[in-house]
A = this chain, B = another copy of it.
């Protein structure tokens, strides 16, 4: 249960409603997720976070499905239940199949395993990897 009240549209200030309206228009839905209703307790964070997510997730050099897969991968790796649930749903909307989810989590699991092996042995970075910038 959230540690703040979820702010519903009907009870929201004009400032919050404007963000909710933009979320629903951008996502072509008539529903606002609990995440945004919680953030509405602090309107500057609601606005800034929505604008940032909107900008970051827009199509660019990476397509929207790839971005959703990466978002889900990070959320799974961090063990954020809310974000895993919401971004699994978003990724499915963007076309993620069960097969793709299976491969995605396999990579996430593998990366977590080898991250700890590399750290655990304190492996020094190969010269060949340095200065790739």
* Interchain nearest-CB distance for A124 vs B (Å): 6
Q: Are A2 and B129 in contact (CB under 8 A)?
A: no
> Is B34 within 8 A of A99, CB to CB?
no
List chain B residues, Cβ under 8 A from A128.
Answer: 31, 33, 89
Q: How large is the interface on A (under 10, 10 to 19, 20 to 34, 35 or more residues)?
A: 35 or more
- Asked if B130 contacts A120 (CB within 8 A), the reply is no
Binary interface profile of A, 86-119, with partner B (CB < 8 Å = 1, else 0)?
A: 1111001000011111111111111111111111
Chain B residues with CB under 8 Å of A66's CB are: 66, 69
Q: Please give me the residue from chain B that is nearest to A40 by CB atom.
A: B102
Is A79's CB within 8 Å of the partner chain B? yes
Residue of B nearest to A127 (CB): B34
Nearest to A87 among chain B residues (CB) is B111
